[in-house]
Amino acid sequence: MSAIDQEPGSKDTGAGNTAQLEGRVSSAIRWSAINSLLQRLAAVGISILLARLIAPEQFGVFAVALVVLNIVLSVSELGVSAALVRTNDPVEEMAPTVTTLSLASGTILALICVVGAPWFSNAMDAPEATGVIQLMSIALVIAGASAVPGAMMQRNFRQDHKFYADTAAFVAGTAVAVVLALMGFGAWSLAWQRIAQNLSAAVIMFWLTKDRFRPGWNPTQAKELLAFGLPLAGSSLLIFGVMNVDYIVVGALLGTVPLGFYLLAFNLASWPVAAFSAPVRSVSLAAFSKVREDPELFQRSFGRALGLLALVTVPACVLLAALAEPLIRVVYGERWAPAAAALALLVLLGAVRVALELGYDFLASAGRSRAILWIHLVWLGALVPLLALGAHLDGIRGVAAAHVIVAVLVITPAYLVTFRPYGIRAGALGARLLRPFLGGVLMVAVVLGVRSVIDSELLQILVGGVLACLAYALVVFPLRHEVLAVLKKRATA
């Protein structure tokens, strides 16, 4: 068995070590949640400021470059850094080869972007984005160079260090963007902002990470790393396709106006994913990897993590879905009301995505990268024709329904089948999700009742939201200790 796939020793499976691990995971989740919240609030503020300084067409040029960069970034380090996160063996032998592969792949992809920028920009009907794409390709080199320090932070549950790096990146990027925007650099201001953010974060990560690894090469390990990492890189590319192909379908079949409504609904529906899934995912791969030798603990850890995620995700998703129409009318205005047709279904997709992303990390920790790749191949293959059919039958609501159908009826069963060797059964997971599900059903009933007796949409949101949350709290009250445990536990040395 390879160094990547071999099972770890028993050092983290004793009662004392398990409690220590739980403390480190809880601390990391808290730091990650704080980081995610502050970064999102700050991003909203700076986006409003930059929108007043930069012309809309310049944002469009940057958006084209950003699409290209995000596609390439999804495969930039070939997925090999995840091997450092999931292994429980000493990393000194593996890390130099990971460093070489990450840096080499980032550099090669950056060169491809520089050379191919004219073609990319012309293909997206934005030739003026060529130079911006070429500049932003520097981010690929920085990502490759900082992949190992980032992986070591994740492996060691140092989300506090990640918070410092992200904060430094925000401060540096904001300063660069505002100064250049005031000087009239337009889209280039946003491109240099991205470079400043990546470089600042990389510097802080290198500074805070004690382990230093120079590039090295072990052919045997390189083969094993690529066998594990390439399917993950392919899956990342497929995930990008799954989360963006609907925009292409809506734009091509329904037009730009419905696309605007759909984009607003999708972005709103993604908030629960970003708010709750992102902090947990920042530690889940490393946490699952620490306990995978103990089958019972490995199985139980997934069920518990899923239950905790459901406990906090369900009320947010239910409120978004049940109050979709008044929420959009009050916050965004009457002209955006058609977006509500897709929002409720897309919120359901968001809730399912939270569970599926946790399943992704579980399988990655078990070394099942090829299974992950196949699942996402099936996802994209099933999604495209159903999206087109949904758009034809019921507009943006039909597109949202197609997304949900594929995620619930195709991909969720695929994950459950892949979980079987690890003793994870649908019935056991259902038991974990029962109270949050019943609480969500009661929330829907409360909101519908409030909306039937109150005409004011603002009061529907306020009164319905408060009463629904109280109803949910009554149902899930016996599970309160699960959340309190995460909040109270402290990391120990």
- Nearest-5° Cα angle at 286, 144 to 432: 135
The CA distance from 467 to 51, in Å, is 37
Residue 74 has pLDDT above 60, yes or no: yes
Mean pLDDT of 149-171: 90
Q: Nearest to residue 287, comparing CAs of 27, 4, 2, 15?
A: 27
289-315 in b/e form (b: 16+ CB < 10 A) is bbbbbbeebbbebbbebbbbbbbbbbb
Residue 35 has pLDDT above 70, yes or no: yes
The CA distance from 350 to 355, in Å, is 9
Residue 283 has pLDDT above 90, yes or no: no
- pLDDT band (50, 70, 90) for residue 15: low
Mean pLDDT of 180-205: 91
Of 3-17, 135-149, 203-217, 226-240, the poorest mean pLDDT is in 3-17
- pLDDT band (50, 70, 90) for residue 273: confident
User: Which positions ≥6 away from 10 have C-beta within 8 Å?
Assistant: 293, 294
- pLDDT band (50, 70, 90) for residue 420: very high
**What does the block give as tokens for 246?**
């609907």
Mean pLDDT of 383-388: 95
Which of the two residues, 245 and 88, has the higher pLDDT score?
A: 245
The DSSP H or E segment spanning 47 is helix 15-53
Q: Nearest to residue 70, comparing CAs of 205, 198, 177, 204?
A: 198
Which of the two residues, 356 and 121, has the higher pLDDT score?
A: 356
- pLDDT band (50, 70, 90) for residue 78: confident
Mean pLDDT of 58-64: 77
- pLDDT band (50, 70, 90) for residue 61: confident
SS3 content of the chain, % helix, strand, coil (to 5): 85, 0, 15
In this prediction the pTM is: 0.83
- pLDDT band (50, 70, 90) for residue 6: very low
pLDDT at 487: 57
Mean pLDDT of 165-185: 91
Compute how many other C-beta atoms are within 10 angstroms of the C-beta atom of residue 360. 22
**What does the block give as tokens for 81?**
């850094």
The CA distance from 327 to 462, in Å, is 10
- pLDDT band (50, 70, 90) for residue 8: very low
Mean pLDDT of 204-225: 88
Mean pLDDT of 153-182: 91
Q: Nearest to residue 4, comparing CAs of 373, 421, 374, 365?
A: 365
pLDDT at 442: 95
- Looking at residue 338, the DSSP 8-state letter turns out to be G
pLDDT at 417: 95
* pLDDT tens sequence across 434-491: 999 999 999 999 999 999 999 898 999 999 999 999 999 999 888 777 666 665 655 5
Residue 173 has pLDDT above 80, yes or no: yes
Of 22-26, 114-118, 258-262, 315-319, the poorest mean pLDDT is in 22-26
Residue 10 has pLDDT above 80, yes or no: no
Average pLDDT of the chain, as a whole number: 86
Of 198-207, 305-314, 434-443, the poorest mean pLDDT is in 305-314
Annotated domain spans of the chain: 23-233
Percent of the chain with pLDDT over 70: 93
Mean pLDDT of 414-440: 92
Residue 363 has pLDDT above 50, yes or no: yes
Residue 19 has pLDDT above 70, yes or no: no
The CA distance from 128 to 192, in Å, is 16
The CA distance from 474 to 443, in Å, is 11
Residue 2 has pLDDT above 70, yes or no: no
